[in-house]
Structure formats: C-alpha cells, structure tokens
Amino acid sequence: NRNVTNDAMIAGLTNLNVKALEKPDGSMLQMLYLPAQKFEELPDLTNLKRMGLLNIQSCGIRRIKTAFGKDHLFKQFLAPDNKISSLPVDVDGYFVGLHNNFETLDFSYNEFTELPNIFDGNSIFTVNSISFANNKISKIQGQEDGSWKGVKATILALGYNQLTEFPQFFNDNETCSQIGYLQLQGNGIVSFPEKALEGDRKKIQHLQSIDLSMNKLTELPNNFSALSLPYLYGLDLSRNRFESFQFKPLNCASLTTYIFRGQRDAKGNRCMKQWPTG
C-alpha cells in the first residue's frame, strides 16, 4: 500500500496495540503480515500476546521499539531485508521467548555488526532455525565482557558476514552453545583456533554439519576430530586456501559428505600441493 505513509503506518499499528487492552481476552490476532509495507520503526506490539507469526520483510525498518519479552512465544518472526542493527531486550535479556515450537527467527539481510546476545545455550528449548546471514557481523555481543549466554538451535545461519575467526560458540562449559547445523560460508575466516572446540563435549557433539566454504582457512585445529565431533555428518571446506588435504575430520565415523574443491591462494592460483592417497 504505497499511499500509506510512514507516520500513518506507525500510528495504525500503535492503535492496534492499544485496542488490544480494551478486550477482556486481549487481541485474538495470531498472524500479522506486513511484507514490503514501508515504515522505519516497528512500534510496541507487546499487547498482541497471541501473535505467533510476524512478517515484516523488506519494510525498510531501522528500529524495533520494544522487546516482545521472554513470555511471548513466536512460531515465526520474519524480518529479513531491512536496516536493523540492534534489538531491544526485556529485564531478563530476551527479545522474544525461546521454545521448542519456534520454527524461524530470520534477521538476514540487515545491518547487524554483532550477533545479538538474546539466546541461551543452557535453555531446555531448541529453536529450529536462526538466521543472521548477510549482515555485517564481525563479533558476538557479550563475548568480550563475558556476558555472552550461548545459543541453542538446530540451524544457525551466519553466512556472508565479516567474521575473520571461527566464532567462539563452543569454548566455555557454562555458556557453551548447542548447534546442529552451522553455516559460516563467505565470511573471510582466516583462523580456526583450538580453543573454539574446548567446551562442553555433551553440547558440541550435537554439531552435525559445518559449512566453511568461501573463507580463507589454511589449516584446521588438531582437535577437529571424532573426539570433539563424534557425529559430524557433513563438512564443506571448498574455496578456501588449503595447500594440503585435511585428514583430521576423517576419523569421524558419521562423516558422509566432505567437500574440498576449489582451493585458491590469495592471488587466485591453485594452491593444493598434497592430495589424499589410499
């Protein structure tokens, strides 16, 4: 609706939130679709307590005014292709509630420079899919001061950001993350330190698939093996800068897919000098 102005859109949503308080049971609204409707701020919608799906894709949103909070249980929160760079949180540090039926949290194609500290690696719940792909993320919020809480998800997509080191998701027993499928392609990652896999092995062993393609890696850590990753199923190391084949993952008994094509040095020349035998 191109004729609806930014101010009118925000006023209308604000009114929707206020009207929800006038009903004994609150608003019955469960799904709100606003894709490509242009407005710059998502106002407070916390009174829409039954809303389980919100689609604000491609709206040009720069700011989300209020956190929905720990008790608001979404099934899908879809906010890709906006201009959001940070998220508000409630007093417990939550943007939205985390639970097993949370299918998708999507903030891809925005302007985040750090992965928000809005998750919990020790949660009893597992979010199915979290995506902050195609942002400008170069670090994890809260890791420098020790406040990072970890993340627990089946799929975590962080491809096409600006990370230069393998993220420290698994190097702390208290806040160690639990991730099934980790997507880190196209970041320009140069280093993979051993400390990145020194956390709680009961959580790390859930990691089944890692996409590290299109980075700048030249070696894997010595502990990249079945001891740390006993159930690793798939690994993509294509289009990096390895000069020799990496045998370290091969003792993972579950490894089924291992992609290692297209190794190039900084000048774009083929750099593989040692090929696997036997």
pTM for the predicted model, two decimal places: 0.96
Contact 258, 235 (CB under 8 A): yes
pLDDT (0 to 100) of residue 56: 98
Contact 224, 199 (CB under 8 A): no
CA distances from 226 to 44, 154, 248, 252, 275 (A): 47, 20, 9, 4, 22
pLDDT (0 to 100) of residue 179: 98
Tokens representing residue 122 in the block:
């020790």
SS3 154: strand
Q: Residue 92 — φ and ψ, nearest 5°?
A: -95, 0
User: To 5 degrees, how large is the angle CA 116–CA 210–CA 247?
Assistant: 140
106: number of Cβ within 10 Å: 21
pLDDT (0 to 100) of residue 25: 72
The tens place of each residue's pLDDT in the chain, 278 residues long, gives 989 999 999 999 999 999 999 887 778 899 999 999 999 999 999 999 999 999 999 999 999 999 999 999 999 999 999 999 999 999 999 999 999 999 999 999 999 999 999 999 999 999 999 999 999 999 999 999 989 999 999 999 999 999 999 999 998 888 899 999 999 999 999 999 999 999 999 999 999 999 999 999 999 999 999 999 999 999 999 999 999 999 999 999 999 999 999 999 999 999 998 888 77
pLDDT (0 to 100) of residue 186: 98
pLDDT (0 to 100) of residue 45: 96
Instruction: Give dist(CA 151, CA 131) in Å, integer.
Output: 12
pLDDT (0 to 100) of residue 82: 98
pLDDT (0 to 100) of residue 172: 84
pLDDT (0 to 100) of residue 26: 72
pLDDT (0 to 100) of residue 32: 97
Contact 204, 170 (CB under 8 A): yes
Q: List the beta bridge partners of residue 156.
A: 130, 182
